[in-house]
């Protein structure tokens, strides 16, 4: 197996949230994803592109078109997208329709990467492996599992992703 090149597209979401102070709401800041990959000692050729810094509830159709365009036009065949969890499945549908022939894995976090306790690095690791191993298509890596991106939903009450 040769080392595949992986493109990482960051879009914001809880995984990249930070906290400032009592007068301001917490905000999505400069992405910490590249730092997570350094900490994980990733030695593959990777490229990290920060597309936007949005809560996934604020993502518009235009934002999703931009994500799909970036994935489609990229030279890489294997793509990881970091994304807020609340509308991750909606973006998965757009990517499945708009980006044929590539392996794309979306992931995010229920607890921000800047927290001492967080699911961010584990989830990012799942997404990296899925981008390398899975068949072309759109996948979602959350809650310890790699799901078909079109057959999964977030169960907000239970705090986890579950199969449709």
Catalog residues that contact a copy of itself under the rule CB under 8 A: 1-3, 13-14, 17, 19, 21-23, 25-26, 36-37, 39-44, 46, 55-57, 84-86, 110-112, 114-119, 121-130, 132-134, 141, 143-148, 151, 156, 159-163
Compare residues 69 and 115 and give the one whose CB is closer to a copy of itself.
115
Cβ of residue 97: shortest distance to a copy of itself, in angstroms?
20
3-state secondary structure of 124: helix
Question: For residues 91 and 67, is the Cβ–Cβ distance under 8 A?
Answer: yes
14 is catalytic: yes
Cβ of residue 3: shortest distance to a copy of itself, in angstroms?
6
Characterise 137 by phi-psi region: left (phi > 0), alpha (psi -120 to 50), beta (else).
Answer: left
Distance in angstroms (rounded) separating the CA atoms of residues 162 and 164: 6
């Amino acid at each position: 197996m040769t080392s595949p090149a992986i493109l990482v597209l960051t879009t914001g979401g809880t995984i990249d949230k930070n906290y400032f102070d009592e007068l301001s709401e917490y905000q999505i800041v400069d992405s910490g994803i590249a730092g997570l990959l350094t900490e994980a000692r990733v030695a593959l050729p990777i490229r990290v592109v920060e597309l936007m810094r949005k809560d996934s509830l604020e993502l518009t159709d235009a934002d999703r078109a931009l994500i799909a365009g970036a994935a489609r036009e990229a030279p890489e065949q294997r793509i990881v997208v970091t994304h807020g969890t609340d509308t991750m499945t909606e973006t998965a549908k757009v990517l499945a329709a708009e980006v044929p022939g590539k392996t794309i894995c979306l992931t995010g976090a229920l607890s921000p990467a800047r927290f001492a306790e967080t699911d961010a690095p584990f989830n990012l690791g799942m997404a990296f492996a899925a981008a390398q191993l899975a068949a072309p298509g759109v996948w979602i890596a959350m809650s310890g599992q790699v799901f078909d991106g079109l057959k999964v939903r977030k169960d907000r009450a239970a705090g986890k992703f579950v199969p449709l």
